[in-house]
Chain A
């Protein structure tokens, strides 16, 4: 798994969306269901962390995963990971129609590990829209758990200050004042490193606001 995979998603190919129709021959009616297959590079399986995409007028989405466990024999099995997750509050209106969505592994019913193919089943029951689908589908693989975040220096120093009095025996004035001084010094450092409280933003450039015309681009 390369660094690219983590930022841009695993390289995958989206097959063209297949709209399901009812009836046959000339009297075909749009059923409002569309299936998009997402194929991963052949031979490769992915442990999925997140699937992200941009909605385009899809009312709800289901996700099915094809898993091929290592050492498993026979055909890979299909499991439903997510059933009918609504993307639009009301399928007839625009709310949510062009939103960015993500599906996390925690929201999936089936463990998205050793996945070799993903199928998105999109539904849009409303006749109000000409077309619907999803765009820019990306699959992000599971990364290694993060190393413990480094506690910034001042925090660890504070922690040391707090712990010290407990280790010592009877508290003596010198050590207390010493730790208090350290505390003051730390707050001074914090103060200086932060940006100052919001001041009124200047709207001119070095006192000059002599402009020509408004830019139309």
Chain B
């Protein structure tokens, strides 16, 4: 690789992106205003302005913005200009599978609209806008008739798409079960880590290192670990350094600091801009009524409202998800997402590219369980614009990978393969037994992984897991945890004789402690 060339191309692209940002305008304004100060001399202008920006904290904010751009994705890895679809997904057969899955979703949405005679989008009359604005904070009290609406798809439909994936150039081998064959459902040979590589990658989770989720137990005196660790967290926050906060999060975030730490890691720190953006999205919600809004209502009613931990946040969930659907800024993430946003044309102008729009405006069609991505965040942020900003950042970095077909190492296909490989390598007897009784492990674990365990673990444990997802900037630990849960309940699972009883053994995960399970699976034995 021509590393110098690649580096300068990356820097040039980062600079182009940051030039369009609010931070750039602010820094320029600050630089101009600082010219009033007496210590800025004309003959050392450049150096003095730079020093001013460093001392006043603007340089740190720029560093955080660069850190964010590097982690969000969309920077082509090499100087070579590959076509844009290659950046979305390098493997041609995966792109094809994603396209045909999307066509199914679009057909389903179109037929829902036609059969129910509900338009995909409708301008709200003024009276309706006023009513909605009045009850914006209590949309949960509404009981609209949603019986006609069905979720567009559920995770198990998506699992069938993944199971059907085949690499055309790969020798599949027979369907016989042998020692060397893969016993699981995923049949594409993606690169996934083995336990030795996972140990290296997640060294901070080792048994020798103190962790939140283990060493903050009530039986352990806080002076042994917790107090010092919380102090370090406070210092990381005071420094306002995204990279430091991310490194810190690998061993867990203290409850009192978590909200600020996550916002710092995601660089979601500009409050006034968040509020402005949120208000504009809210105006979009009031102006147009979308078919997907009904799907969102239905999803919240079916999932979060029925959950003991999350039903209190029902109103927040509507506010966040309805605004999310209107957010055209989310379209940016499709540069590195293998999915493509659905397109449509203004009525009567089919084919006219000037009248082409995306539907929904953010390009993301919600599925059954989508609202569970937002629900845990409601424990951290009680201000809707902040909650929205953090959720959007988490979606465009991580959650989108859980429902699109791609070969990325944090993509759901790789996670499924990693889960199955870990299970087959380390619990072969269990895997063989489950396979024989028709209870393929992935069929049970898939729904956990697609939701990143939201709604399955109890909330404080879930937040410990998401701490590590943010800290390591990868979703791999979801697959490791799924395998660790099977290992933990292996004895019971060996006794079962059907898929239904296997599901019953693994139905209730609310008592599980996430960090010890992962540690035991990776580092013990």
Listed in ascending order, the chain A residues whose CB lies under 8 Å from chain B are 52, 56-57, 89-90, 92-95, 97-102, 104, 106-107, 127-132, 162, 165-166, 176, 179-180, 183, 187, 190-191, 194-198, 200-205, 208-216
Contacts and interface: CB of A to CB of B under 8 A. Distances in A.
Interface string B399-433: 00000000100000000000000000000000000
Contacts of A202: 328
A187 B361 CA distance: 36
Contact of B110 (A97, A208, A213): A213
Given A197-B20, A210-B123, A213-B344, 5 more contacts: A52-B80, A102-B79, A104-B2, A107-B1, A198-B20
B281 interface: yes
A9 B190 CA distance: 33
Nearest to B107: A216
Contacts of A196: 25
Interface string B183-208: 00000111110000000000000000
27 contacts: A94-B190, A94-B407, A104-B5, A107-B1, A127-B171, A128-B171, A128-B189, A129-B170, A130-B169, A131-B169, A162-B45, A166-B43, A195-B20, A197-B22, A201-B331, A203-B326, A203-B358, A205-B346, A205-B355, A210-B346, A211-B120, A213-B113, A213-B120, A214-B106, A214-B342, A214-B359, A215-B342
A205 B357 contact: yes
Interface residues of B, number: 68
A173 B345 CA distance: 62
Nearest to A215: B343
B123 A201 contact: no
Contacts, number: 152
B280 interface: yes
A216 B121 CA distance: 17
Contacts of B32: 187
Interface of B: 1-2, 5, 19-22, 24-25, 28, 32, 35, 42-43, 45, 78-80, 82, 86, 90-92, 103, 106-107, 109-110, 113-114, 119-123, 167, 169-171, 188-192, 277, 280-281, 284, 288, 326-329, 331, 342-347, 350, 354-355, 357-359, 361, 407
A180 to B, nearest CB: 7
Contacts of A205: 346, 354-355, 357
A194 to B, nearest CB: 7
B357 A100 contact: no
Contacts of A216: 103, 106-107, 110
